[in-house]
């Protein structure tokens, strides 16, 4: 019987692909209510899939959310897990087992493709972009990596394949600094006439110009390795498809982190001008096309049926995140956050509540909408359960096995979930408590309400999804209880 059980478990090793969009809001795809443009490929995932209405990234920015999804641990338990500078050292510890490492144990071949933004190199060292760079994704359980090191708006604007900058000419070495100008490359500040899009003077992004777009940080050299923004989505999709093709005869796990729709938005000409909403809308169309290409490739490789597809975003939406690309002016009646309040960076719902769709064609036969409370931090334990792996040794301490919920077979909420805007929030059933915070209420440049309040906030996020009525004074006991629970989780 034991053998039989193992055999049964052994069959549950579908390929797994996590398609992780960047800054895609809760209302930014048509299956979550966007009307102005359509995302047919993303919408198609909801056909015989589960569309989650209450799924959360761990945080309202990229680095901590990525930390959370890959480690199964709340990022705020560790220092320096905020938005990582472009030259940050690797922030995920290599002595713990990450989700991809756990899947390697289960027999998977694993790949990280696309945006990394979790730092590279040993803590306390400075990355030399011209040599082997480690630790990085390969030391964290990925067999293959093809990544953009940080964000699209940060230098160095190059791809890395495994431990090296791709297409680097050794005679044109890369130097990067986040402190001072290096080399003679033009900068946005000095040569604004060279820019294809202006930057917001309040937000910087006016340093080295790469591909006619100025960035955060200075770089020189590496000219043959520099990306063209219009080609990024196509290149990383090709790399993902290549990896799936080479590994189609065994289970594979692809962590596919697109740069869309983060700034600077400069999609391929195939999409530019197509949405009528400016480059932000065009980038959504590109993202949708990318999803379509990945799905088509799975079908072509004959592995589509047995692939678990998870689509989500790392944090909520922002319009002007440093570049004046007309995202605001051309928005019209589109609501990037749907019915939610706030946006990227915010403790309000739009910060961390994101679209999440799960589909496994061989196993899921009905289209479902799930209101279950679930976090991306739960993928680790859920995929461990799916692939028959035990979690030991303090790995993934905050991850809960929500496999049944992921597959649409249970509606049971996670007991509670902590999310991070600036302050931490605790969500329990229909209640959300936002801990008091002295931070500013409104971020002027990005025009986002951050959810900071020196007083505790309590909302009924079912009836009052826009978090209008603070019920904290009305329900002091609930505030106290939720505060205590949050403290207990923080110190557990
Ligand atoms: C902010 C940047 C923003 C973006 C963000 C990270 C400024 C003023 N703004 O600090 O442009 O890069 O960090 O976005 O520098 S994330 O999605 O990767 O978290
Ligand atoms: Ca992001």
Q: Could you report the per-residue pLDDT of 119-156, keeping only the tens digit for each? A: 999 999 999 999 999 999 999 999 999 999 999 999 99
3-state secondary structure (DSSP) of residue 63? helix
Q: Are 186 and 194 in contact (CB under 8 A)?
A: yes
List of long-range contacts for 65-68, beta carbons under 8 Å, 24+ apart = 65/314, 65/315, 65/352, 65/376, 66/20, 66/116, 66/117, 66/118, 66/257, 66/314, 67/91, 67/92, 67/118, 68/375, 68/376, 68/377, 68/398
Mean pLDDT of 451-464: 98
Ligand 1 pocket, residue 23 CB under 6 Å: yes
Whether the CA torsion 295, 297, 300, 301 is positive or negative: it is: negative
The number of the ligand 1 atom at minimal distance from the alpha carbon of 22 is: 17
3-state secondary structure (DSSP) of residue 20? strand
Q: Identify the pLDDT of residue 12.
A: 81
Q: Is the pTM of this model over 0.95?
A: yes
How many CB atoms are closer than 10 A to CB 132? 9
What's the 139 CA to ligand 2 centre distance in angstroms?
23
Q: Are 282 and 272 in contact (CB under 8 A)?
A: yes
Q: For residue 388, is pLDDT > 60? A: yes
Rg (CA), the chain: 22
Placement of tokens 């998870």 in the chain: 310
Q: For residue 11, is pLDDT > 90? A: no
Q: For residue 5, is pLDDT > 60? A: no
Q: Identify the pLDDT of residue 6.
A: 43
Measured N-to-C along each axis, helices 232-246 and 278-300 cross at an angle, to the nearest 10 degrees, of 20
Ligand 1 pocket, residue 57 CB under 6 Å: no
Gap between the terminal Cα atoms of the chain:
38
Q: For residue 90, is pLDDT > 60? A: yes
Structure tokens of 207? 């340093």
Domain 15-168+229-407: homologous superfamily in CATH: Alkaline Phosphatase, subunit A (3.40.720.10)
Q: Are 355 and 374 in contact (CB under 8 A)?
A: no
Q: How far is CA 238 from CA 114, 243, 262, in A?
A: 11, 9, 20
Q: Which stretches of 211-347 are assigned E, i.e. beta strand?
A: 213-214, 218-220, 252-257, 307-313
Placement of tokens 């800054």 in the chain: 23
Contact residues for 253 (Cβ-Cβ < 8 A; gap 6+): 15, 16, 17, 18, 100, 103, 108, 109, 110, 111
Ligand 1 pocket, residue 257 CB under 6 Å: no
Ligand 1 pocket, residue 153 CB under 6 Å: yes
Number of helical (H) and strand (E) elements in the chain, helices listed first? 10, 22
Q: For residue 10, is pLDDT > 60? A: no
Q: For residue 2, is pLDDT > 70? A: no
**Boundaries of CATH 3.30.1120.10 in the chain?**
416-491
The number of the ligand 1 atom at minimal distance from the alpha carbon of 445 is: 8
Give the residue whose CA is nearest to atom 2 of ligand 1.
321
What's the 430 CA to ligand 1 centre distance in angstroms?
31
Q: Are 40 and 334 in contact (CB under 8 A)?
A: no
Ligand 1 pocket, residue 263 CB under 6 Å: yes
Q: Are 197 and 264 in contact (CB under 8 A)?
A: yes
Give the residue whose CA is nearest to atom 18 of ligand 1.
62
The number of the ligand 1 atom at minimal distance from the alpha carbon of 23 is: 17
What's the 390 CA to ligand 2 centre distance in angstroms?
31
Ligand 1 pocket, residue 81 CB under 6 Å: no
Ligand 1 pocket, residue 83 CB under 6 Å: yes
3-state secondary structure (DSSP) of residue 428? strand
What's the 255 CA to ligand 1 centre distance in angstroms?
21
Q: What is the DSSP letter of 90?
A: P
Ligand 1 pocket, residue 203 CB under 6 Å: yes
DSSP lists the bridge partners of residue 175 as: 220
Instruction: Give the chain's mean pLDDT.
Output: 96
Model ipTM value: 0.97
Among 227, 216, 266, smallest CA distance to 84 is for 216
How many CB atoms are closer than 10 A to CB 57? 28
**Rounded CA separation 256/240 (Å):** 7
What's the 60 CA to ligand 2 centre distance in angstroms?
8
Give the fold, CATH level 3, of 416-491. Answer: Arylsulfatase, C-terminal domain (3.30.1120)
**Boundaries of CATH 3.40.720.10 in the chain?**
15-168+229-407
pLDDT tens profile 15-63: 999 999 999 999 999 999 999 999 999 999 999 999 999 999 999 999 9
Give the residue whose CA is nearest to atom 7 of ligand 1.
203
What's the 189 CA to ligand 1 centre distance in angstroms?
18
Q: Are 2 and 237 in contact (CB under 8 A)?
A: no
Angle at 336 between CA 332 and CA 341, to 5 degrees: 115
The number of the ligand 1 atom at minimal distance from the alpha carbon of 151 is: 18
Structure tokens of 422? 């600036």
% of the chain with per-residue pLDDT over 90: 97
């Amino acid at each position: 019987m034991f053998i039989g059980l193992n055999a049964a478990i052994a069959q549950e090793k579908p390929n797994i692909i996590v398609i992780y969009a960047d800054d895609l809001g809760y209302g930014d795809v048509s299956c979550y209510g966007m009307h102005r443009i359509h995302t047919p490929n993303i919408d198609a995932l909801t056909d015989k899939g589960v569309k989650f209405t209450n799924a959360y990234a761990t945080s309202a920015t990229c680095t901590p959310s990525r930390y959370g999804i890959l480690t199964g641990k709340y990022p705020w338990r560790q220092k320096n897990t905020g938005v990582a500078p472009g030259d940050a050292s690797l922030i995920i510890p290599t002595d713990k087992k990450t989700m991809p490492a756990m899947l390697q144990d289960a027999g998977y071949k694993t790949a990280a493709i696309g945006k990394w933004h979790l730092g590279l190199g040993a803590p306390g060292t400075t990355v030399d972009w011209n040599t082997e760079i480690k630790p990085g994704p390969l030391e964290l359980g990925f067999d293959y990596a093809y990544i953009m090191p940080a964000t699209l708006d940060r230098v160095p604007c190059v791809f890395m394949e495994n431990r090296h900058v791709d297409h680097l000419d050794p005679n044109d070495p890369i130097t990067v600094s986040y402190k001072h100008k290096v080399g003679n490359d033009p900068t946005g500040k000095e040569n604004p006439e060279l820019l294809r899009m202006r930057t917001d003077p309040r937000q910087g992004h006016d340093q080295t110009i790469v591909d006619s777009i100025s960035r955060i940080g200075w770089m020189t050299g590496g000219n043959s390795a520099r990306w063209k923004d219009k080609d990024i989505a196509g290149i990383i999709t090709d790399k993902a498809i290549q990896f799936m093709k080479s590994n189609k005869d065994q289970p594979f796990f692809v962590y596919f982190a697109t740069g869309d729709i983060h700034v600077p938005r400069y999609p391929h000409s195939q999409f530019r001008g197509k949405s009528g909403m400016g480059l932000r809308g065009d980038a959504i169309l590109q993202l949708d096309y990318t999803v379509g290409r990945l799905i088509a490739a799975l079908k072509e490789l004959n592995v589509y049926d047995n692939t678990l597809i998870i689509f989500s975003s790392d944090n909520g939406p922002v319009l002007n995140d440093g570049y004046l690309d007309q995202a605001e002016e051309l928005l019209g009646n589109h609501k990037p956050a749907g019915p939610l309040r706030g946006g990227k960076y915010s403790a309000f719902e739009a910060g961390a509540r994101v679209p999440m769709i799960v589909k496994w064609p061989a196993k899921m036969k009905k289209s479902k909408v799930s209101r279950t409370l679930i976090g991306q931090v739960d993928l680790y334990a859920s995929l461990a359960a799916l692939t028959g792996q035990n979690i030991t040794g303090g790995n993934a301490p905050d991850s809960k096995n929500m496999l049944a919920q992921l597959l649409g077979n249970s509606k049971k909420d996670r007991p509670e979930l902590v999310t991070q805007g600036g302050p931490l929030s605790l969500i329990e059933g229909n209640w959300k408590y936002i801990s008091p915070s002295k931070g500013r209420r409104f971020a002027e440049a990005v025009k986002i309400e951050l959810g900071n309040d020196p007083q505790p906030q309590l909302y009924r996020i079912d009836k009052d999804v826009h978090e209008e009525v603070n019920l904290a004074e009305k329900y002091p006991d609930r505030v106290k209880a939720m505060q205590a629970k949050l403290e207990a989780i923080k110190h557990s």
